[in-house]
Structure 1
Amino acid sequence: MSGGAALRRGWRSPAATALTAVATCTALGALSGLLAGGAWALHAVLAVAGAALVVGGTRSLTRSTWLPSAVGLVVSAYALLAWYATPPGGNPLVVGPGTVEHAGTLVQQAAQLIETSVVPMAVWPPVEMILVAAAVLVFLAADLLAVGCGMPALTGIAYVAVWTPAVVLGFPGSTWALAATGFCYLLLLALAQPPVARDRSRRRAGVVLAGAAGLVAVTLAAGPVVAAVPAWSWVDLPDVGTGAVGPVRLADDLDLRDSLRDQSSQVVLTYTVDRLDDDAEGPAATAGLVGPLRSFTLRDFDGRSWQREPGEDLAEWDPQRLLASDPALVGAEPDPARGTLTAVDVRVGALREQRLPISTFPRTVAIDGPWTYDAVRDEVVSRNRTDPGGEYEMVVEVPELAPDLLRASAGDVPEEAQAYLDVPETDHTDDLRALAAEITAGATTAYDQALALQTYFRDGTQFRYDTSVDSGDSDDAVWDFLESRRGYCVQFATSMTVLARTLGIPARLGVGFLPGELGTDRTYRVTGADAHAWPELYFPGTGWVRFEPTPAVQTGPPPSWSNPFNAATPTTAPTTSAPQVTSNPSTAPTTAPAPDSQGGLPGVVGDPRNRGPLIAVGALLVAAAAAAWFVLRRRRRAPDRLAPEVAWDRLRDRLRRAGVTWSDAHTPRQAVAAVRSQVVERRGRPLGRDADAALVALATALERERYAPDPEAYDPAELQGWVAAVLTDVSTRAPGDARGAAGGRGTAGGRGAAGGRGAAGGRGAGPDAAAGPLPTEA
């Protein structure tokens, strides 16, 4: 029996389906490095388990190759659409065109979320729908290959597909998940082996289990050892983000037409972040909470490059008091009522800078040396430069910048912010004003205009992050960037700054470092490659607020207050459409929906009250499927207990005890010849007629089961009768009995050879046909 035929018979079929389901669930551990925690994994496991029950139950009713998988696909699709895509107020038990249309909208939202997120990505409901559906598809493909098509070795392709994103993106998943998936794969291959005699089956099972467990153990134990071998250091692998080494200094003469120079891999800063009020409710203390560390800001832009304006009055400050871009907060004490108080301890590395990297939020700064404060630019500066090993401390007051707060900001622009409205006059200044107006069409507040600009630039289908920049053909570098649609942070930040100014929103350029990467010792590590630029826009009553137009591939998600999924415009009904940007750069994007009170997107999973009927019906369906499968297995247990392969192995095992043997290399017909010759050799006479006919009949049934495209079913009693006829004849030394040759019932347990169904499995073959040639081997 081939491996595929073995998996389609008896208990092996549901066992193989269960193994593919378990392997699919363990393979989901490959995504642990890419996705944040949540209930998505549990939901995926439940969906795969339900699909396995449906497929297994259907396969117990049919021998079709494709039908079980098709039924599993249809039932799973219906369940997923009902659970995730039921429109608000819709009936989750009725999946119609509206549900399908809503599912398409959710797919668009999922694509937008994936595009604008960084690792580890939070799993929003639209993304969870994609993940759960993908898990079910992987299971259905693996089960179809293993059980339906009889090609269990190819199931590895389905599991490799799950691991591909983590491998390509360089965020490895769980080692235990890989080991568990490999273990299930080995068991599936072992399960596909043809049945053997019971004693040999036990030995083979023991060898397979021991070998698989040993391989997993060796892999887990040897992995760290092999990785630690010094020889690996001899291999020169590409290291993205490295380049120039030595002291790092941020340039303040940024030219938009210059390509980004080699970024240094030197560590410029390391720092820790801790909450000062651990017992209070609020966000966790992370680098993302504190935000990027800004060294300085730029105001003057001439259409091509930024220039550093003359310095303002510098003064000393109280290290226990706040420094902030809002003059009303300068000199105030940190107050937890205004925001989350966070302690940031920084150690300087290979940074030689006269402007100290500090948080954009109000903060205290305690540092030794001749440092002074520029209140106009909100900068801490010195005549000297930072030294490696230098340390400073900040207490950052992180305010709760909600979209509603920024949307409500109103009032006159103060005189000190008026200088941040200048737009350079070029041949394309009017084009830029028109473009900004079209992008923000329908936006009624400065905040909504800023959000529309940011969403426009972050559309990864329209703009591409690229460190190589064309020289351009016009006198306006911003226009050239909008034409080429590729650049790095300086181009994105400058373009949003200029477009915001054309709308009457004061804007400036912030320059500093991204938060860096978190190490194993809870210390964040910032390198020269984390140098970054971003726009800061002024809102009366709030002050300067950071936005992030550079695509997520470089910067991750935008700040929480400028995330379109947190900031639905209240002037219009919330839409579930993902931000759309056409090839025309003047087309304005739409605003994506905000999370609802339960933390999900409106219209994503429907009203939570609708989940009760879904859960109840789902539980009833699963229980009904399980009960039906159990009843069918009970009914089929007796017929499936003895198949031709099992009967053949039973005969072989008993004949071996009588001294009649043949090799595994023998085909069934060769085994028949071997039995005949050994019986003659041992007893001096051939097998009896009925016994010989029974032997040929069993061998014929075996070949048909192994090689026929659609083998017929045999009565277990008939198979047992053939085995008994051969064993009875071999074990007795009495002359052979010719009963059954002329008709009547033969001792082989089947019908007479001359009429009806012959002992050889043919149709009325006659006496001579019983010992005739077997069918040609496939």
Structure 2
Amino acid sequence: MSPAPEQGARAVVGAVLCVLATWASLLALTGLVAGSRWVAVACVSVLVVAAAAALTRAATRRWWAPTAVGGAVALVGLVLRYGAPPGRPQFLPDLDAVGRAWATARQGVVVVNESFVPMPDVRPGEMLLVVGALAVYLLLDAAVLALRFPAVGGLPLLALWIPAIVLGFPAGAAPMFWTAAAYLALLAYGAAPLHAQAGRTQRIGTAATAAVALAGTSMIAGPPLMDAPGWASVALPTFGDGPVGPLELSDDLDLRESLGTRSAQVVLTYRVSDPSRPTDPATDDAAAEDTGAATADPSATPTAAPTPAVDARLVGPLRAFTMSTFDGRLWERTDNEALEVWDPASLLASDPNLLGTSPDPAAGTLAQVDLVVGALRERRLPVSTFPRTLAVDGQWGYDALRDEVVGQRSTGDGLTYSMLVQVPRLTAEDLEATGVGTPTDAEQYTALPATEHAEEIAALTAELTADADNPYEQALDLQTWLRSAANFTYDTRVPPARSTDAVWDFLEDRRGYCVQFATAMAMMARTLEIPSRIGVGFLPGERTQDDTYVVTGRLAHAWPELYFDGLGWVRFEPTPASQSGPPPVWADPFTGISAPGSIPDEIGANQPGSLPSAAATAPSGALPTAVEEQSPWAAAAITTGLVLLVAGAALVVLLLVRRRRRRVMTPEDAWTALRRELARADVRWSDATSPRGVVRQVERSIGVRAGGELDGSAREALDRLARVVEQTRYAPSPADHSPEELDTWVHEIGDGVRAALARDGARTPATTA
């Protein structure tokens, strides 16, 4: 017996609720896709299809007709919009339009496979999102109005939420609230009687009581559930308390916890000025004219290097505190009780030769910095990493060991302080000419955690710095390797731990955020006996029209500092340039940088612009405005697959099968495919492992995890492939092998490894949250 569909005014109400629920669920994708055009197009498309389905439902009582007509309207609309010839509209679909629409969809798959979060709001990607939205609405409409089973409607709505949850880019509380409210409204709609006036008050009271009971139960049951083992592995932010309320930097930095959503509150505003610049406007103009005349005269002989512009680029990041104790996963901090009172006219510096001296224009460029604290609650005052004087009201002490200014109370909104920063003219030649120094309490800055991969990290460091002639060149080699986009990707999401060594996991995964980049360089430097620590603070901020720099919580950042003899702690920048800008001039292997700041030259000293955010991730290298937090993302195809699961499961399966069965052509292709295949079974090796070493490592992994061994045919295939790869790499005339043979070996090894693990009841090693 066919179901009786909804009719009349009740059907109209149900259709409206379905539209609203679909719109609310679309908001779940706002954290994955940039821009807002796609949202508007998807919402309008849903509304048009909903109207077509509603008109069909008013004209017929066949339960399947509205869904069929709505699907047809959706298909025609997609072809007309995305299959139209360039530059002119299409009013009637034809085969050419279908072909162009199909090509656009295929291009969309390429876009999502090659993009980073957030995916750009381009036409091919928009098409896939609109297809997913229409599919979700049609399924929801069929469940609620045709089959009259609203509870099932939660499944297509959930399909739009799964990508954000899986990839770790949730849209926030508001989209979740509106989606949940719309779904509850659909449930209430389905529970309401078809013909009812009697008992209305009782039903309203029952619904209200149930809602209050549900909210109360959630509040009571929430904390115990969060303490359950399954929830204990959820990574929470460590840099701040979220987008609402004041921010406090965390004293303990866990490499296995994502940065999460950091605060958008303004934590600092400041202005930078040149103390040597004349204050008299007439004198200032005359000086500018003299400078311009000297520049215009080609016969003029320069007597000195150009003076760098005094701005935030020169001053660099503002450091709140440093950390030196690392246990393989967690940075921990201990406070120093021996605080000193300082002279506001004398320099505070990590270099003992400068500590307590007066600012000297001959020793560096002087910059006056006047700061105002906003939504920052921090006991350590953010100051320049360079030597600086400091004038601040309140009870503050100076920690000379860590070069920190510590207060008895936290900073408050409106607190003002000023610095006269002495920016040294430090160059690569200065660092090459000196060796590592010995800081006070040096043991804590060279100590290495006793982790299971400590030897591998030391060996990798030695390999990377083999050609370096001095500690500076070693540090530069490490920084260059970590900053390379060919080696690493910036990403705030943290993959599950595979060992007790978080640094090794990061070096294997090749993706992470600033704390992981900074920690990796610091620990690798310690294997070379270079004292190191990490600094935690803020990138310079966004420049406004009135030359004020604005720092938000999203600019929280971490970087490594290395100790050199006679120079003190020197900052390096291993985090990719798209997040932190160029490295300091003394650590920049490239030429063409004229100022010792760390901010990109694209932002002119005299033009308002935004400085890079530690959380921004524009893959193209363009500097964002530090207003939206972005991070690079891999596996964007997962998002597309989940969104299109409802609308085009067959297409997704076809794409996955084609990718999985892509044939290999050379032994190196086969080796790469095998590495990717075994990684799915959590069997991995580093780039430095030889083919024969891989054979032993695979056998050892199976033995440790399963207590068994690889069966004969799979082991034989692994030995053959390893020998072939060795011959390809080292033999003068390696033997030829057909792609079919190589492909067979890869799949035989992969099947054998999975079978060995499954047969012996292997378990993936437990990970620590």
Whether these two folds match at TM > 0.5 is no
> Where on the TM-score scale, by shorter chain, does this alignment land: which range?
0.3 to 0.5
Provide TM-score, normalisation by structure 1.
0.42
Instruction: Specify the structure having the higher radius of gyration (Cα).
Output: 1
Provide TM-score, normalisation by structure 2.
0.42
